[in-house]
Amino acid sequence: MLRLLLPPNLAAAAPRDAIAVRVELDLAIPPAPGLVPALAILQRLGVAPQPVSLIQLKRAQLRELVQALLGERVFFRADRPTLPLAWNGIDLPGVSEHLREPAAPTPAPPRPVKPQPREIPAPDLTPLTVDGSEHYLAITLPSRESMVYDAALEFLRAHRFILDPLTRKWWLRDRHKVLNLLATHGALLRDNLHAEFTPNFEKNTARLQAATIAAQISEAVDGYDVTLGLAAGTAPDAQIRSAVATGRGSARPTAPSTSSTPPSSPSLRPRSARSPASSPPPAPAAATASPRPAPPRSPICWRTSPRTSPRRKPGTPAAPR
């Protein structure tokens, strides 16, 4: 006779492959033919031929015993050793469901492999190139892939540049137009169109200087005097005024004097010795008052007085008109 007592915690022990089973054998009675395969499995598992043995089985080993003892009432629970477990077809309820191998986890779908972006070498872009002098300009357009190509082409056409089909350069041959263009659109060429000026151009235009705006504010009795002007180096006032009036963008500076003695200024010219008879009569007292100091010399000046009415102290009645 054979009895296999299974632990009450079979559900928890089976996943750990640590199922403690008590094996009871009655060696005085010959085994039934249906028990011989199971006895052979127990012998292979190392169970000694003795009345009581305690072994630890894995799920696969206990499942093999259940299949070998199909229909035999030899399985008991250790907490109910007198009640054999009933069979349900080929399954042993309370035992077979815990001996099945867990279903293999469904493999996660493979992550889509993003194609590595192919590194496209950056095109070798040619910038807008400016060559020439104050008498002419020779401009080469940038590469067609450049972001400023269309704007540069429109700029050249708008300012009447002529394309040379042999050199592929756009030419402007007029000193007046060249100087006006550099004065008006020089910042656009540098900052917006990202033009590169050749060393030859820098050398030929090194003596060109940009005029700056000069301002002076002085307090007056009736408000403030604001004086604005153009500071253009040594360029004569007449040329600056003419350039502003006619829309020209340039003026020639005065050539430096070759004399060792600097030209005298009317305000600094020394008085010549005169005899009392030839001296002019003294000016009236009203004309001897010192005039308001003039602003520093600037080629072109505009003066404005924001306040035209004289100041009054608070509480002083206004003068009758």
User: Which of residues 129 and 314 earns the better pLDDT score?
Assistant: 129
Would you place residue 312 in the very low, low, confident or very high pLDDT band (cuts 50, 70, 90)?
Answer: very low
Predicted local distance difference test score (pLDDT) of residue 269: 36
List the single range of 101-105, 117-121, 125-129, 136-140 with lowest mean pLDDT.
117-121
User: Which of residues 74 and 267 earns the better pLDDT score?
Assistant: 74
Mean pLDDT of 71-97: 88
Predicted local distance difference test score (pLDDT) of residue 135: 93
Tell me the one-letter amino acid at 60: A
List the single range of 64-78, 179-193, 195-209, 234-248 with lowest mean pLDDT.
234-248
Q: Determine if the pTM surpasses 0.95.
A: no
- Per residue in 15-39, pLDDT tens? 888 889 998 888 788 888 888 888 8
Query: Does the pLDDT value for residue 279 go beyond 50?
Result: no
Encode burial over 161-185: b for 16+ CB neighbours within 10 A, e otherwise: beeeeeeebbebeeeebbbbbbbeb
Predicted local distance difference test score (pLDDT) of residue 203: 93
Predicted local distance difference test score (pLDDT) of residue 245: 76
Residue found under tokens 């640590």? 18
User: Which of residues 170 and 220 earns the better pLDDT score?
Assistant: 170
List the single range of 65-79, 89-103, 123-137, 257-271 with lowest mean pLDDT.
257-271
To the nearest 10 degrees (0 to 180), the angle between helices 59-68 and 36-44 is 160
Mean pLDDT of 112-136: 82
Query: Does the pLDDT value for residue 188 go beyond 80?
Result: yes
Would you place residue 287 in the very low, low, confident or very high pLDDT band (cuts 50, 70, 90)?
Answer: very low
Query: Does the pLDDT value for residue 320 go beyond 60?
Result: no
Residue found under tokens 């035999």? 72
Contact call for residues 98 and 11 (beta carbons, < 8 A): yes
Tell me the one-letter amino acid at 251: A
Query: Does the pLDDT value for residue 194 go beyond 60?
Result: yes
Query: Does the pLDDT value for residue 138 go beyond 70?
Result: yes
CB neighbour list of residue 59: distance below 8 Å, 6 or more residues apart: 14, 15, 17, 19, 98, 99, 100, 101
pLDDT cut 70: percent of the chain above it: 76
Name the helix (H) or strand (E) containing 219: strand 212-220
DSSP string for residues in 296-311: PP-SEEEEE-S--SPP
Sign, CA dihedral 38-39-44-47, equals: positive
Tell me the domain boundaries of the chain: 2-99, 129-204, 209-252+298-307
CB neighbour list of residue 200: distance below 8 Å, 6 or more residues apart: 131, 132, 133
What is the residue-averaged pLDDT of the chain? 77
Predicted local distance difference test score (pLDDT) of residue 254: 61
Contact call for residues 100 and 67 (beta carbons, < 8 A): no
